[in-house]
Amino acid sequence: MVRTPSCDKNGLKKGTWTEEEDRKLTAYVTRYGCWNWRQLPKFAGLSRCGKSCRLRWMNYLRPNIKRGNYSKEEEDTIIKLHESMGNRWSIIAAQLPGRTDNEIKNHWHTNLKKRERQNSSISNEEKHNTNNLAPREKRQKRLKLQPNNCLANQITSQIIDSSPSSSPQPSSSGSSSISKDTAVATSTEAYEETSGNFWTEPFLTDCSFVSSDFLLEQPFMNTEYLSPVLFDEFFCPYGLYEEKLNSNNLSQIIIDSSPSSPQLSSSEFSSITRDTAAATSTNMAADDNVTSSEAYAEISGDFWPQPFSADNSYIPNDFLEPFMETEYLSPVFDEFMCLYGLDGEHEGFN
User: Which residues are near DNA by CB under 7 A?
Assistant: 1-4, 8, 13-17, 34, 36-39, 50-52, 54-56, 58-60, 87-91, 101-103, 105-107, 109-111, 135-136, 138-140, 143, 164-165, 171-174, 176-177, 265-267, 270
How are beta strands 6-7 and 13-14 bridged, if at all?
antiparallel
Question: Which of 50/218 has CB closer to DNA?
Answer: 50
- Shortest distance, position 346 Cβ to DNA, whole Å: 29
Q: How far apart are CA 237 and CA 205, in angstroms?
A: 8
- Shortest distance, position 268 Cβ to DNA, whole Å: 8
Question: Which of 100/248 has CB closer to DNA?
Answer: 100
Question: Which of 219/305 has CB closer to DNA?
Answer: 305
Torsion region of 21: left, alpha or beta (phi above 0 gives left; psi -120 to 50 gives alpha): alpha
The number of C-alpha atoms within 13 Å of 89 and in the hemisphere containing its C-beta is 13
- Which residues lie closer than 8 Å to 207 by C-beta, 6 or more apart? 194, 237, 238, 258, 259, 331
- Shortest distance, position 171 Cβ to DNA, whole Å: 4
Question: Which of 1/150 has CB closer to DNA?
Answer: 1
Residues 323/317, Cβ–Cβ less than 8 Å: no
- Shortest distance, position 162 Cβ to DNA, whole Å: 13
- Shortest distance, position 176 Cβ to DNA, whole Å: 5
Question: Which of 104/329 has CB closer to DNA?
Answer: 104
Instruction: State phi, psi for 104 to the nearest 5 degrees.
Output: -65, -40
- Which residues lie closer than 8 Å to 209 by C-beta, 6 or more apart? 190, 193, 328
